[in-house]
Structure formats: C-alpha cells, structure tokens
Amino acid sequence: MRQAIDAFWTGGWDSSYRVIQAALVEQRDVRTHYIIDPVRRSSLHELQAISTIRSALRRLDPAAADRIQELRITPIMEIPEDTRIMAAYRGMRASAYLGGQYVWLANYAQSRGLERLELSVHVDDKAYHFLRGKVEETDEGIWQLSDDVVGHERELFSRFTFPLLPLSKLQMREQASRHGFLEVLENAWFCYHPLGGRPCGVCNPCQFTMEEGLSYRLPWQGRLRYRLRFLRQVLQAQRALVRKGRRVLAR
C-alpha cells in the first residue's frame, strides 16, 4: 500500500475530489484535517457534506471509506499565530489577491509539525498565481515548492504539497466520472453564505463555481443572483456618480 497522506478537507469540490481519489483510486490511507470557524455560516454545511460523502463512498466501496481516517477538527481560535507567516502573507497580498485562509493553514501546519499537508489548489485558484513557476513535480506526481524558492512563498507554502495543481474543476469532474465516483463527489459543498440552506450565488465560492464550468450545481435562484450582481454594481456606480454631481453643483 502506498504511503498515507495528510489532506486538508473542507467538504468542497476540490478537496473532496482529492480525498476520494486518494482513498478509492490510489488506495491510500488519508488523514483528514478540518479547521472550523464558528463565525462562518457554511461550517455546518461543510461538515454535513463530509459526512454525506463518507456515507456515499461507503456504499460505493466500503474499503475505500475505511481508508479515510477520522476527521481531525480544530477550532480556528486554537491555532497559534506566527508573525513571520502573517508578514509573508501581507507581502504577497500587496501584489495580488490571496485568501486569508492560507495564513491559518500555514499556522496550523507549523503548529502540528506537518511538512506535507495536501492543499487542493488547482489551476483556477487565486493562489496559483503565486505558485506558477515556483513548484516542481515529485516522483509521486504531486507538486511542491521548488528548493530554490525563498522569501514570502517559502514562509507561507513550504509546509504544503499540491496534488491537483494543473487540474480544473471540469477535469476533476471528468476524472471522477471515469473512475466511477462522480455521484459521490456531487455531495460536495461550496457556498460561504447559504440562503435557506442553498448556495447564495454571490459569495466568492459560488462565483468561482459559476465561472469554472459547474453552474449546474447552483439552484436557479443562486444563478439569478449571480447574474443580477452585475446590474447592482452598475446601479451603485450610477448612484455614486449622481451623488458626486450633486455635491459639485452644491458648491
């Protein structure tokens, strides 16, 4: 049996794809990690998705389900903070957008002594901008930071590996279908701000899901909100211009 892996599992499409693929296709033991943020409304949906995926995988292949070890859940407020990691993040964020989750993920990996925690960053993620040209493929077919990379990227990303880096969500869907676990994967969750228990259509994960070819995963109300958000932005810009014009005339 191949070496066990440590994987960060959010219950989302990308990380769920990796966990299922590793357990079912590669037949690896998977140690899964989840960081819970009590403030984020999607946390319970994510944990429910993880539970549902486990149950669905067990029906498909009990042995594969058994390879996924008990989820290690850590409250975000219990993760020690490292000022060097925060400084690296701020330095990188100054050049382009990067989600704040990479700070507490790096802090978590460091505090737990994890050197190869798998993150399911893929080709359409914002983090790909910072990793492109700075990673190398290992003999196992995954990607890690190149040895000659220093600076902010080294501080933030050196504790991770990236098994899905060149893939898109559509390619993951095709592979899941080919290996017979697409129906299990479809239980993944992605919305940060669900409305009535369904994806909102306007948060970042919903927008990414729409833009990366999986719009069918949103209800029609969510797809409508996604499209109407452009209209709201136009109206807000127009109102701002009107207010500015009124201030100029009032001088």
pLDDT of residue 236: 59
Neighbours of 123 (CB within 10 A): 15
Three-state DSSP string of 142-162: CEEECCCCCCHHHHHHCCEEE
- Residue pLDDT, tens place only, 23-78: 999 999 999 999 999 888 889 999 999 999 999 999 999 999 999 999 999 999 99
pLDDT of residue 163: 97
Please give the share of the chain, as a percent, with pLDDT higher than 90.
Answer: 74
Average of per-residue pLDDT across 111-124 = 96
Q: Which range is most confident: 83-87, 200-204, 238-242? A: 83-87
pLDDT of residue 26: 97
Burial of 232 (0-12, 13-18, 19+ CB in 10 A): exposed
pLDDT of residue 151: 93
Name the DSSP class of 215.
G
| Alpha-carbon distance values, 176 to 24, 104, 164, 185, 212 (Å) | 11, 30, 13, 7, 16
Which among 182, 180, 190, 249 has a CA at the least distance from the CA of 215? 190
- Higher per-residue confidence, 5 vs 205: 5
Rounded mean pLDDT of the chain? 91
- Residue pLDDT, tens place only, 168-212: 999 999 999 999 999 999 999 989 888 888 899 988 889 989 999
Instruction: Give me 198's structure tokens.
Output: 């369904």
Phi, psi angle pair for 104, to nearest 5°: -75, -20
Contact yes or no for 117/6 (Cβ under 8 A): yes
Average of per-residue pLDDT across 94-110 = 95
Three-state DSSP state, 30: strand
Contact yes or no for 172/129 (Cβ under 8 A): no
How far, in Å, CA of 37 to CA of 238, rounded?
Answer: 37
